């Protein structure tokens, strides 16, 4: 079959083979080459950068270097012993004034925390922000926001975090412009449906929930072994416990249980089996957009999920069994009191602290720092592309997870559009998804040509 016939008859196969040919001709860029290029670039002005040791980050999270060009980030091997740390890094950190340590969540050995405390070395806990990405973090989708906390991760209710201190002490009355920004961002979130993750296509919620005949209570499931529950709830509740509590307290209502997307897509394990509570609730087995899950709902139950705060934005009453960042300020039905939180705050004030003041926003495509508003707008645009391309994404090989590629697909396509005349070095995977993103246009052009030939 000639190349032209192949393009006309099977355009997807044509471009897949084109990618394979490209790999044969030009080869792959090895990880060693990438690391070498990065190190060569770093060596130019290392002396002017802030030395920062990074602990607990998965290898794919080395995107962090782009976030901090003014820092020399050194990713420390997992499982480094205290002896090795002392011999290799202790003196270097102490000699470099202003050196800092980054830790993903709590993923660091206790000796590192002790060293930082004893020697007054700043230790920053890094976590995903509340407006994150198109794809799930478990699929290695790069984030648009991260939080950096000098005390403890924001979900740790056992001690005050920077976010909790901000909520406790910030003078919101002195900054009316900040509250206006909060209101506008909340309105945009509600209008667009943008959430922390934005990987799923819109659905007809009536087909999933059925006709509404009585009050509805939505139970938000979480990853049960996640640190947000271990450090945010004094009691080891499971998702099934949460369902049963909601059912007991709302016997006149329909209970709807939405498992966490990471569990539904088998990226993270479940502790309790949803099948065990199907007799008392409707289990949503389909991964649906969080924003749509609130439609027709009258009350929301959660342990510590951020989804509870998104329910508050929609004016829904929320019961929290644990102590998430937004509880204890007079907005929620709190089952776990927090004596440190004595202040009454408005929804807009909590939003301002958590979404505007606390996180850092960065565009992983253009590699530039951005505002919270820009992050919302860009994620909304990317999600629109994702939804329009849903049919194409479903054509992935069966061996691939359908949720594993959207963010790479988005990032590649948009980067290509933004710089159509520039020579961009894409990975083979990126190149493949750029091709896929153009497939609709290509197929339409082919149909037009065929119609023209037919006439």
DSSP of 389-405: THHHHTTS-TTS-TTSS
Query: For residue 444, what pLDDT is reported?
Result: 56
Helix (H, G, I), strand (E, B) or coil at 73: strand
Q: What does pTM read for this prediction?
A: 0.76
SS3 for 12-54 is HHHHHHHHHHHHHHHCCCCHHHHHHHHHHHHCCCHHHCEEEEE
How many alpha carbons fall within 13 Å on the CB side of residue 155?
Answer: 22
Q: 370, 363 in Cβ contact below 8 A? A: yes
3-state DSSP helix/strand/coil % of the chain, to nearest 5: 45, 15, 40
What Å distances lie between residue 41 and 31, 38, 52, 70, CA to CA? 15, 5, 17, 12
Query: For residue 202, what pLDDT is reported?
Result: 86
Q: 408, 359 in Cβ contact below 8 A? A: no
Alpha carbons 334 and 319: distance in angstroms, whole number:
6
Can you read off the two tokens belonging to residue 255? 């209970």
CB atoms within 10 A of CB 78: 12
Query: For residue 242, what pLDDT is reported?
Result: 98
Query: For residue 449, what pLDDT is reported?
Result: 58
What Å distances lie between residue 259 and 35, 42, 243, 283, 302, CA to CA? 38, 43, 11, 8, 11
pLDDT along the chain (455 residues), means of 10: 64 64 52 47 63 92 91 90 93 91 93 94 96 79 94 97 98 98 97 87 92 97 94 97 98 96 86 95 94 96 98 98 98 97 97 98 93 94 74 32 37 40 43 48 57 53
- Kindly list the structural domains of the chain, giving each domain's residue range(s) and its CATH number in brackets, ordered by start: 195-337+345-350 (3.40.50)
Residues in a beta bridge with 301: 219, 319
Can you read off the two tokens belonging to residue 363? 């565009």
Query: For residue 262, what pLDDT is reported?
Result: 87
Query: For residue 5, what pLDDT is reported?
Result: 64
- Considering Cα of 207, then 197, then 167, then 183, what sign does the dihedral take? negative
């Amino acid at each position: 079959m000639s190349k032209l016939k192949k393009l006309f008859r099977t355009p997807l196969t044509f471009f897949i083979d084109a990618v394979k040919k490209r790999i044969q001709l030009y080869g792959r860029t090895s990880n060693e080459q990438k690391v070498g290029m990065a190190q060569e670039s770093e060596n130019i002005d290392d002396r002017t950068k802030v030395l920062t040791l990074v602990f607990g980050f998965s290898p794919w999270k080395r995107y962090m270097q782009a976030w901090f060009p003014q820092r020399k980030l050194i990713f420390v091997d997992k499982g480094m012993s205290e002896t090795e740390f002392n011999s290799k890094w202790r003196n270097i950190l102490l000699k470099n004034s202003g050196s800092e340590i980054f830790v993903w969540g709590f993923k660091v050995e206790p000796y590192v925390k002790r060293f930082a405390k004893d020697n007054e070395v700043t230790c920053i806990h890094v976590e995903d922000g509340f407006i994150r990405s198109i794809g799930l973090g478990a699929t290695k989708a790069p984030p648009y926001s991260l939080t950096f906390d000098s005390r403890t991760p924001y979900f740790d209710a056992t001690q005050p975090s920077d976010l909790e201190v901000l909520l406790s002490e910030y003078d919101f009355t002195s900054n009316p412009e900040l509250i206006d920004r909060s209101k506008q961002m909340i309105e945009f979130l509600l209008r667009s449906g943008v959430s922390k993750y934005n990987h799923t296509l819109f659905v007809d919620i009536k087909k999933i929930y059925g006709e509404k005949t009585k009050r509805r209570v939505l139970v938000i499931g979480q990853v049960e072994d996640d640190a947000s529950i271990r450090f945010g709830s004094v009691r080891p509740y499971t998702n099934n416990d949460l369902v049963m509590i909601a059912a007991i307290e709302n016997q006149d209502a329909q209970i709807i249980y939405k498992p966490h997307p990471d569990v539904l897509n088998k990226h993270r394990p479940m502790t309790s089996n949803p099948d065990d509570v199907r007799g008392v609730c409707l289990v949503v087995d389909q991964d649906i957009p969080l924003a749509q899950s609130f439609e027709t709902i009258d009350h929301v139950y959660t342990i510590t999920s951020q989804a509870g705060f998104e329910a508050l934005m929609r004016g829904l009453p929320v019961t929290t069994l644990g102590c998430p960042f937004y509880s204890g300020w007079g907005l929620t039905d709190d089952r776990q009191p927090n004596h440190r939180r004595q202040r009454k705050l408005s929804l807009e004030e909590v939003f301002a602290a958590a979404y505007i003041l606390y996180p850092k926003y960065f565009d992983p495509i253009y590699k530039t720092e951005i505002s919270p508003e820009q992050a919302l707008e860009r994620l909304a645009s990317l999600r629109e592309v994702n939804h329009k391309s849903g049919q194409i994404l479903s054509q992935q090989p069966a061996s691939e997870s359908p949720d594993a590629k959207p963010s790479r697909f988005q990032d590649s396509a948009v980067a290509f559009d933004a710089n159509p005349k520039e020579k961009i070095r894409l990975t083979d995977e990126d190149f493949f998804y750029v091709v896929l993103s153009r497939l609709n246009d290509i197929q339409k052009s082919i149909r037009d040509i065929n119609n023209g030939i037919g006439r």
